[in-house]
Amino acid sequence: MPNTTELYDEAVKLKDAGNFEGAVAKLREILVTEPNYALAHGALSIYLGRLQRHDEAIAHAKKVCELEPNDPRSFTALSVVSVRAGKIQEAEDAKAKAQMMAGHH
């Protein structure tokens, strides 16, 4: 049985081949055994956004923020996903939090 890193690498290969659905399925496999694997949630937020499944994408981006609350990149990613979903206020809030954390007031 492949380990988490192998599954993640397989998901990236599927994404690189243009198979976003396959990549999403691979990442979900990881979350069955490691529900707090931030990299998988981050990738899911991007891939689901590309598939126009914005609510799911935002949910995974928010999970990354919960798992890595001290990393401004978590909130920057949430901002990007929110913009793509047309949720501008959420995007602005996340961006402001990222900037505040990075020390840019």
pTM exceeds cut of 0.75 = yes
Look up residue 67 and give its two tokens: 């798992």
CA distance 64 to 75: 8
Q: Which amino acid is at 60?
A: H
For the chain, the first-to-last Cα distance in angstroms comes to 47
Q: Are the CB atoms for 58 and 45 separated by under 8 Å? A: yes
In this structure, of 36-40, 89-93, 99-103, the range with the lowest mean pLDDT score is 99-103
Q: Which amino acid is at 84?
A: R
pLDDT tens, 33-81? 999 999 999 999 999 999 999 999 999 999 999 999 999 999 999 999 9
Confidence of residue 2 (pLDDT cuts 50, 70, 90): confident
pLDDT score, position 102? 84
Domain at 4-101, CATH from 2.30.29.30, 3.40.630.10, 1.25.40.10, 3.30.360.10: 1.25.40.10
